A and B are shown apart, each in its own frame.
Chain A
């Protein structure tokens, strides 16, 4: 086998190795996997807690911390004035204060930082601060922000043709609206960071972060030090889901500040309630739409308006709301279309990244449009969906990107068959006819999710691979492990290059001193970017070994083979360990970096046109639900999923992402409620009042099939990203609930006015609307 050139596409061997389990699974089940808070503390470690704002928007008149300082065990209390450098943890706009400076912009915003010998002392003392505020009028809701003209940036418009004119000329025309609720990440491991002083002003931060490089840079700016003096390390996170992309920096920054001021190690493990109050969530939206269509349900004109509650600061909201716009077409061709996105600045905690990154909300909106068209025409919603799919001659998105990999029609057709959609639809109609209280509904919804950071420069990754003289291998890369199985995929890729077992590859903690200037592990990009970088690093070492062994054994470098049987060079046959040792003795470098930057992507944000995505990941799901029309309770009964991961790097890991993503999406659309009261106080800030799905909420029957096609793009082993797309498969749950509600009044040719999440209360409201 010839060494593969770096620029040609690596292809997973046809006889793919069996999918190994998560590399830490044996540690997880034994309680031996170490998270930030599990590392032994150095003597003298200090513990931290924030004093939080009681107001949503106010000027700070005075801060009296005497009682806080006097509390037994308190070592120091800091305010904004104690920050030597830049008081900011905002990723883009530099507008996220570590500690409030003169004003507060959301309830629960950190105002002061307590440092104590114990965590309990810090938490108790933090409640003793006396802050005097001069309250200002807050904008809590989308409506209030809109009325006040309060925005984090200008409205964005993405359009093709003339939607207004097309609406006027449409055979049928209607308008509708939808509210989509926010979602808390509810990672099981809360926010935590542990900082330790080094010599000469250096600092080492162990953080539960998806973005160690950003934490490094923000800490450096905070302390007024160069980035080279700050090292950030992440071994693993106990869940993240986007909630530790930008939000982890606050806690790392606070711990670093304490190290800087006291010279002592400092750990900030945030209490769960504080975590939920202080950190951002998925954006909630108010969506309005106007639709024109023909008698067969084919869309001719669509106007969509997304009012997104962005919270008090910019955070990542521009990109998130852009992604909402990018996914407002989903799999459907919208001939004349106008998508307007308002990024409303409210005095609530800044909304942030969450699996799907705005995409789910855009996608849910257009699914509701399809349902609405079908309801008005009395058609099956799936027929309407199929009629509107992208296809030949109808294959350009609203942002001008031509689809090159559209497999949605084939996937829907196959799923329609394997899920027995038609037969079950008939059985459901029969059930509903015979059931007065309980009504069933079924829906099939597709997913098309754009893969790449839409901010071009983020689409880069680095890796560092070492082969040791005993043949063992360390691989390091810029991605972080949050449970998604990134490290095992990287280990598989590297092991495959050297023809060794995956156990021979040790993936080490992500560290900014090993691979610099990394992007967040986000946008589903972890394996795409870092996998290719690691593959290139490993291939560089393998090429050096092959050249060396060819010279030693008198064969061509192309004839040196690395496989499970060992290394073959001409007549010689060596174990990989022998080959490594020989190369070391021969003074060959057995360490290499690797780098990858996604090709082809280009986007002009001013006109919202271009090719923001390298490719798309697809999927489709059928959900069957039952609704209690008396109380609004409902249950997901059965789910059939067909999902596209290209040529899977690890089918077991990918299946895990699919079903986990689905259930998380189900929670977003059913039980998980995020509400702020009129004063901007978050009402759901603990698992007592914030309800993520439990085991019994998992659908009784769940079937998951992987689509059997390769990625048409030369990604690592022709695989596709899988982190986020499956979450949106759960849109089918919401649409099925709506269908079940509609079954109480089949004669009403309208869509139930159902908002997300479909709590029993929301369902009952929609039922009342159908009966009115």
Chain B
């Protein structure tokens, strides 16, 4: 089977490529599109940023992605836009002109990636409503200090994009699904419906499920692992639903972080702020919320917040569906309650009740595009000055994201007071014996976790608690 995608209106056909080869390798190698760079091969620097487009009604929905960790069959049936696409006749587009004139490039190696991120924002790609700095949080520049790049993004807020050719080309590619392919000895499945997914997994219970590949991609580019059987769920139409109701939000397994951002932010602004700080936009435009759960990271910025909000996880297999509180899914380090041939189908996040105290705090060395040292999430119900209910969850404090039961016990039934906070902070030491690692020592984690309880307290008193909210004198 061949992988086919659209590049500047032309169909590119790659007969039987290695399905774990990346889009970047193909662009830079056989396609000679060397404008797209490899800076890290792990989705952390953005030098390889390209736009990926899919037909969405009468338009093309574009999103910025890191080509370095995108498996080639994941672009099958889609349109790809690279930096070379922007000036086909050698005339720079207004964004490129602005960046060339204002000093946005020095060494120039990161520049194509920035161009693509800002171009995506200007043509209405996924996440385009974000401020410029957020649109380029997944792009690293080591030379400029970012000033001119930010200025260029501010100066060129929108650009016309003629998608007619891409739309026509994409319609020509529809119906050309890879449902079951064997490439160079590796199996690649791309079911179109969840029932097909059930069947594929029933037949291949050991298949590796891939949604955005922002994690599994690194197993190949960094771990140099051989993955011989993969199931790509990004084309499963009925897993892409966002069901937003008065009760809460249900996200299908195919819903990417950037797509869920609005709905999650409407559940609570802290959740929106957390999503803003999960990876860069390229990562959030590929990575799914359920994938972030399914892979069982001990930090996993999404899960502790969702646990505190009382989220429920639904798993599915040929044997039917199972629903469980999200915290029950995480059994131990690297071990989750997912059975053979089972997949995470959706997560439901209930809407916080009116008046609930919800606070979600992420601590990391760098504010953007960094993994938490500690993530604390709190949902308290306070009635008549007394804490009636408390859900407290942490990431980065144990082998899994999990609830702080001693802390919760120290809160529930107590007055919402400094003394109670102090007791609850003390109780955290019974909940967690964190490890020291590259993101923080155990001592820092314990101290910072307690500090987050105090941040909750001071914030509820109306004090300024976030350095991100402060203006210069």
Question: Is chain B found bound to chain A in the same assembly?
Answer: yes
Residue numbers of A with Cβ under 8 A of B are 21-22, 24-35, 37-38, 40, 120, 123-124, 127, 185-190, 236-241, 271-273, 424, 427-428, 431, 435-438, 440, 442, 482-485, 624, 626-628, 630-635, 637-638, 652-653, 655-656, 659-664, 671, 673, 675, 683-684, 686-689, 691-698, 700-702, 759-761, 764-765, 768
B219 within 8 A of A: no
Contact assessment for A188 and B142 in the assembled complex, using a CB-CB cutoff below 8 Å: yes
Is there a chain A Cβ closer than 8 Å to B109's Cβ? yes
Top-5 shortest CB links A-B: A31-B35, A483-B107, A238-B109, A28-B108, A663-B145
Please tell me if the beta carbons of A687 and B108 are within 8 angstroms of each other in the complex: no
Kindly list chain A residues whose C-beta atoms are within 8 Å of the C-beta of B134: 696
Whole-angstrom distance between the alpha carbons of A484 and B102 in the complex?
15
Contact present for B44 and A30 (CB under 8 Å): no
Stretch at the interface among B147-155, B240-248, B378-386: B147-155
Contact residue among B107, B146, B438, B451 (Cβ-Cβ distance under 8 Å from A236) = B107
State how many residues of chain B have any CB contact under 8 Å with chain A: 88
Contact indicator B142/A631 (Cβ below 8 Å): no
Given contacts A31-B35, A635-B470, A659-B147, contact A691 B438 (CB under 8 A): no
Main secondary structure of the interface of B (DSSP, over half): loop
Q: Is B363 an interface residue (CB 8 A)?
A: yes
Residues of B within 8 A of A683 (CB): 438
Cβ-based interface call for B269 (8 A)? no
For B468, the chain A residues whose CB sits under 8 A away are 635
A768 to B444, CA, bound (A): 11
Are A28 and B464 in contact, with the CB atoms below 8 A? no
- Cα distance A475–B35 when bound, in Å? 26
In the complex, number of A-B residue pairs with CB atoms less than 8 Å apart:
285
Q: Are A239 and B107 in contact (CB under 8 A)?
A: yes
B428: shortest Cβ distance to chain A, in Å?
A: 14
- Is B415's beta carbon under 8 Å from chain A? no
Given known A238-B37, A241-B142, A271-B41, contact A483–B108 (CB-CB < 8 A): yes
Can you name 14 A-B residue pairings with CB atoms under 8 Å?
A21-B103, A25-B100, A31-B82, A124-B224, A238-B109, A440-B473, A483-B106, A659-B144, A660-B142, A660-B143, A671-B366, A686-B40, A692-B142, A768-B447
- C-alpha spacing A106/B302, complex, angstroms: 39
Instruction: Using known A-B contacts A21-B103, A29-B115, A686-B42, determine if residue A628 contacts B108 with beta carbons closer than 8 Å.
Output: no
Known A-B contacts A238-B107, A635-B470, A691-B365; the reply to A188 vs B451 at CB < 8 A is no
- Chain B residue at minimum C-beta to C-beta distance from A430: B473
Q: Which of B101, B106, B140, B369 has the most CB of A within 10 A?
A: B106
Q: Interface stretch among B173-181, B288-296, B344-352, B452-460?
A: B452-460
User: B464, A633: Cβ atoms under 8 Å?
Assistant: no
State whether B100 touches A26 (Cβ < 8 A). yes
Contact A694–B86 (Cβ < 8 Å):
no
State in angstroms the CA–CA spacing of A696 and B45 once bound together. 15
Give me the interface of B with A, judged by CB distance under 8 Å. Answer: 28, 32-42, 44-45, 47, 82-84, 86-87, 92, 96-97, 99-112, 115, 132-134, 136-137, 139-150, 222, 224, 363, 365-371, 373, 438-441, 444, 447-448, 451-452, 454-455, 458, 463-468, 470-473
Complex Cα–Cα for A624 and B471 (A) = 10
Q: How far is the CB of B276 from chain A (nearest CB, A)?
A: 10
Chain B nearest CB from A325 CB (Å) reads 28
A30-B92, A239-B143, A696-B133 given; A764·B444 CB < 8 A: yes
Q: Report the separation of the CA atoms of residues A435 and B444 in the bound assembly, to the nearest whole angstrom.
A: 23
* Residues in B whose Cβ lies below 8 Å from that of A626: 467, 470
- Given known A-B contacts A271-B41, A671-B365, A689-B438, A662 and B108 have beta carbons under 8 A apart: no
Cβ contact of A631, chosen from B111, B224, B371, B455, cutoff 8 A: B455
- Contact A624/B145 with A689-B438, A761-B444, A764-B448 known, Cβ cut-off 8 Å: no
When C-beta atoms are compared, the residue in chain A nearest to B220 turns out to be A120
Collect the chain A residues with CB atoms within 8 Å of residue B100's CB: 21, 25-26, 28-29
